[in-house]
Chains A and B, each alone.
Chain A
C-alpha cells in the first residue's frame, strides 16, 4: 500500500472515530448510566421510586362488614380523597387502588402499607432504551452496538508511534483483556 493510500485510510479512520463518537456520545452516556443502574437492581429499583408509608389506623376491621365508607376513611388516612377499586387478597387483607398508589391493609392488625409509585427521572428513560422496551429500538440498539465496535477499533489507530497501538496501545489492550478473562475463568470453576 502506498503512503498516499495509508494516509487516506488514516484520515478516514480518524474521521469515523470523531464523528461517530460525537453522534453517539449521548447514547453512550445513557447506556452507561442504565448499565450502572441495572447492575444494582438488587439494591434499589432502577426504574421507579416507590415511597412506602406504614399507617396505624388504631382499630381493626372485619372483612365481612367493611363498607365503602370504611374504605374511604382508610384512604383519607393515606391522604387519598378517592379510590378506584378495592379487593381482598386474603381473609385478613384489603387492597385499595388509587391512580398512582395502593394501600394494603391488614384488617386484623389495623395497620396498612401505602405505596406510591413514580418513575425515576432519567433512569427510567434510559432503562427503557437499554431494555429495548420500545418496539423498534432493538434495531437501533444493534446499530449502536455495531457503531461502538467501530468507534473502539478506529480509536486504536488514532495515534502512531510510541503512543499508538503498536507501542503503548498493545500493552493496554492486553491488560484490558485480563479482568473479563479472570471473570470468565472464575465463573467456569464455580
Chain B
C-alpha cells in the first residue's frame, strides 16, 4: 500500500469535496434574470452602550424584537442581532463572530446612539477593525473590550441625529408634562461628549427650538450627566436652576436612549433633588427616548436602504 504525499492527498481531498458539493447542490431555477443578491448574505447588528442596568439591556433587546420582522421583509436582510459596546454580553465581538460563523458576507452596524461621540466615532470603528484610534486601542485593551475584524464587510449606518427623531421625541414628552407653557422652561439632560460638546448642544438646541415653536415654552437649558461631567448630578442642578431663574416651573427631559437607574434616578434625579423647592417647581418623569416609533422606523428604513445598496453593488 502506498501512502499519498500529504500535499497531494490534501489536493485530492479538496477536489473530491468540491465534486461532491457540485453533485449534491440543487440547480437554482432559471428565472431569466441575474440573481440580484450575487451570493451575498446581509445581517443587521444594533449596537448601543452597555449598562449594568437590566432595564436598559431589556429595552434594547425589545427594540430589536420590534423591528426584526420589518427589517427581514423583502428578503434583503437575512438576520438581526443586538450587541453592547461595554459592560455586558453580547459584545460587538461576540456578535460579529456569530455573523461570521453563520456565513454572512455583509453586516450593517446600526448604532443606537444619539449623536457623535468618542464611542460612536472612534471606539466602535476601532472595535470592528475599521480604525486604529490610539486612545481607543489602549482603553479597549484596559477595559477588556475585545476587538474583532470580521470576515464579513462591516457598514456603519448614521447616528440617530441624522433625522428629526429627537425633536419629535422631546416634543411629545414635553407636552405630556406641560400644563402652563408660559410659566415653564425646558431642561434637556444628555450624556454629552467632551470633544463634540458643540454638536450635542446644537442637537439639543434644535429640539428645544421645536418645542418653543410648538408649545410656546421659550426658555431652555442643557445639562450633561455622562463622563463629561464625571457623572455628577451638579450639572443637572445647575441647568434646572438656570431655567427657574426665569420661569416658575422647569420640565426636565432625560434625553437618553434607554432607562438606566444610575442615570435617570441617581444622577439626574439626584440633581433635581438638590434644587430648592423642586417638589413644586420641577416636573420630571424618569423615562427615556425608547420606546419610540420614530426610532423603530429609522432603524428599519436605514437597514433596508443599506441592504439595498449592498445587494446592488
Contact = CB atoms under 8 A, between A and B. Distances in A.
A100 B144 contact: no
A77 interface: no
A89 B138 contact: no
Q: Closest 9 CB pairs between A and B?
A: A89-B121, A100-B134, A89-B116, A42-B230, A117-B134, A117-B135, A90-B199, A133-B142, A90-B116
Contacts of B164: none
A40 to B, nearest CB: 12
Contacts of B199: 89-90
Interface string B187-221: 00000000110010000000000000000000000
A99 B142 contact: no
B135 A131 contact: no
A89 B143 CA distance: 24
A98 B133 CA distance: 8
Interface residues of A, number: 25
B131 interface: yes
B121 A95 contact: yes
A97 B116 contact: no
Given A87-B121, A90-B196, A90-B199, A97 B144 contact: no
- B interface secondary structure, majority: helix
Interface of B: 116, 121-122, 131-135, 138, 141-144, 195-196, 199, 230
Interface of A: 42, 47-48, 50, 84-85, 87, 89-90, 95, 97-102, 104, 115, 117, 119, 127-128, 131, 133, 135
Given A48-B138, A117-B135, A128-B142, 14 more contacts: A42-B230, A47-B138, A50-B135, A89-B196, A89-B199, A90-B116, A97-B132, A97-B133, A97-B134, A99-B134, A100-B134, A101-B134, A102-B135, A131-B142
A87 B134 contact: no
B142 A115 contact: no
B121 A115 contact: no
